[in-house]
Amino acid sequence: MSQAKPDIIFLMTDQQRWDCIGTFNEHIHTPNLDRLASEGITFREAVCQSPMCAPSRSSMMMGYYPSQLGVRTNYGGLFEEDKLPSEPLPALMQRAGYQTAGFGKTHWNHGEGVDEPSTRGFEVRAIGLSRQSGHYEQGATMMGDSHPEALEAYHQETKDFGGGEENVNGYTGLTSQIPMNQHRDGWVAEQALQFLEEGIDPERPLFFYLSFLKPHAGFNVPREFEELYKLEDIPDIPQPPWEDEPSTHLAASDDLNRNSRAAYLDKKRVWEKRSPEERRRTTLRYWANCSWLDHYFGQALEKLEKRGRLDHALIVFVSDHGEMLGERQYRFTKYNLYDSSVRVPLILAGTYIPPDKRGTMDRRPAELVDLVPTLMRAAGLAANPMLPGVDLLGNLRHRGTFCEFHGKGVTAPHSAPAYMWRTAEWKLILYIEGSVAESASRVHETRGELYHLTADPHEWTNLYEEQQHASIREQLKTELLMHLAVSWAKGPFFYDRGGTKPLES
């Protein structure tokens, strides 16, 4: 096999906070991810492009911002394969000559009205859900088909956790009583390890994608990973000095989506009555989920190393968005533009990383849309000049990072857009209250939030109306406007007599 192209190992979790790896939190046990960080580049300021699964993942895998794709909430998706605005990452890797093997969650949301949804470039595919879950992909091995009793055992253990396993019981969690391989992530890990033992094509470079469903709630955690932690070592979640969310984009979202607000208040009523020890147990179980997945990543990396597939490799670790975990008066899940939701852990490691960059912390802006350009270059593909992202291993980097929020969807209309522009020191959020339907006539009602992140990391003090910060507010507004203008000007569709050449110089 030619060693010109590195094997690409893509490791992913769901809803893992940026600060929930040992590199950033001395209390958390993630030795395998910490080793990657010590041997690679950790992107401290990395953000997702939408604080929820489907738009974040579609954006990351297609290389465009959610509004460019039209996938803005968890109830959106790109359904027509012949009308995709760009090649998905697995298809790009396949075109570059890679064997493409995908294990676990993609959340394409592309099964609506489609009998055999595409794998979008994966040649080998295994998904830890049932065929009826809405996540089936053509030819995929499904847990519900191969191990229905195990999947049923998992569903029985979590039957009181509610939709998405995100109700009070899901976040309270429990010590799991079922074997690890009867968990969906355990089954996915076993499928991946079996492939690494038996299924690698020795004639081609490998694109290996391993993506888990947790640490997303629910928190039914194997005992051995709970026992890594002690309650007395778990810090309390800091709370703001106000009882109700002030005038913010999150308050505006609550006003538009009453069901979402009701779900929040259900948790708040329970959590504010709980003892500090009970509240800490939720944090402990979330951290234990992170440690459990780290254990599986370690097994996969060990198997890859034994097979010689780390000798010339680029390893990615990332999550799709964060988790509030009880902040801002007992908020859980994501669905807002605050750092605990939008910042993500992002590590690039492996022998492909230049020696002088290994073990470094990159504090420059980084986004999930940067992964497609980065991996395209590593795979030897020509850059797509229409994409808004940049190669994270190159010299070009954006001035700040962008994220967008359009509400939760299904039970309410899409919110008028809320846009974030973030630097290491400052964050600007612009939003309009109400739905998007008539918002174009109300742009004069635009409201804002401005946070000095170095002095106010919890984002409790909104400086948007403060005159002494007017110059930084207007500078960030200008940067946000022009960043979007430049991004929108290039793609996802660009027709010119010269093709894309006008974008390439």
257 φ/ψ sector (left φ>0, alpha ψ -120 to 50, else beta): beta
Measured CA to CA, the distance from residue 469 to residue 172 in angstroms comes to 41
Contact 377, 359 (CB under 8 A): no
The b/e string for 360-374 (b: 16+ C-beta within 10 A; e otherwise) is eebeebbbbbbbbbb
Q: Is residue 413 part of a domain?
A: no
Task: Give the model's pLDDT for residue 283.
Answer: 98
Q: Is residue 459 part of a domain?
A: no
| pLDDT at residue 3 is higher than 90 | no
Q: How many CB atoms lie within 10 A of CB 392?
A: 23
Write the single-letter amino acid at 204: R
Q: Is residue 487 part of a domain?
A: no
Task: Give the model's pLDDT for residue 184.
Answer: 98
Q: Is residue 55 part of a domain?
A: yes
> Percentage of the chain with pLDDT > 90?
91
Measured CA to CA, the distance from residue 61 to residue 55 in angstroms comes to 10
| pLDDT at residue 409 is higher than 80 | no
Q: How many CB atoms lie within 10 A of CB 133?
A: 14
Task: Give the model's pLDDT for residue 353.
Answer: 98
Q: What is the DSSP string of 240-263?
A: -S-SS--SSHHHHHHHH-HHHHHH
Measured CA to CA, the distance from residue 29 to residue 44 in angstroms comes to 19
Q: Is residue 181 part of a domain?
A: yes
For residue 17, give its domain range.
7-394
Compute the mean pLDDT over every residue in the chain, rounded to the nearest whole number. Answer: 95
Torsion of CA 162, 335, 21, 60, to 10 degrees: 110
Measured CA to CA, the distance from residue 487 to residue 505 in angstroms comes to 16
Task: Give the tens place of pLDDT for each residue, 324-379.
Answer: 999 999 999 999 999 999 999 999 999 999 999 999 999 999 999 999 999 999 99
Number of domains in the chain: 1
Q: Is residue 400 part of a domain?
A: no
Task: Give the tens place of pLDDT for each residue, 327-337.
Answer: 999 999 999 99
Partner residues linked to 142 by β-bridges: 127
Q: Which two tokens stand for residue 208?
A: 């290996």
Task: Give the model's pLDDT for residue 98.
Answer: 98
Establish whether the linkage from the previous residue to 102 is cis, with ω within 30° of 0.
no
Q: What is the mean pLDDT of residues 214-218?
A: 98
Task: Give the model's pLDDT for residue 120.
Answer: 97
Contact 1, 203 (CB under 8 A): yes
Q: Whose CA is closest to 409, among 121, 131, 152, 164?
A: 164
Write the single-letter amino acid at 146: S
Task: Give the tens place of pLDDT for each residue, 43-54.
Answer: 999 999 999 999
Tell me how many degrees the CA angle 118-298-28 measures, rounded to the nearest 5.
Answer: 110
Task: Give the tens place of pLDDT for each residue, 278-328.
Answer: 999 999 999 999 999 999 999 999 999 999 999 999 999 999 999 999 999
Q: Is residue 149 part of a domain?
A: yes
Compute the chain's Rg from CA coordinates: 22
* pLDDT confidence bin for 11, thresholds 50/70/90: very high
pTM of the model: 0.96
Q: Is residue 494 part of a domain?
A: no
Q: Residues with Cβ < 8 Å from 476, sequence gap 6 or more? A: 400, 421, 423, 426, 428, 450
Element (H, E) at 186: helix 184-198
Q: Which two tokens stand for residue 447?
A: 């409201």
Q: What is the mean pLDDT of residues 385-397?
A: 96
Measured CA to CA, the distance from residue 22 to residue 27 in angstroms comes to 7
Q: Which two tokens stand for residue 11?
A: 């490791």
> Percentage of the chain with pLDDT > 70?
98
Residue 328: CATH number of its domain: 3.40.720.10
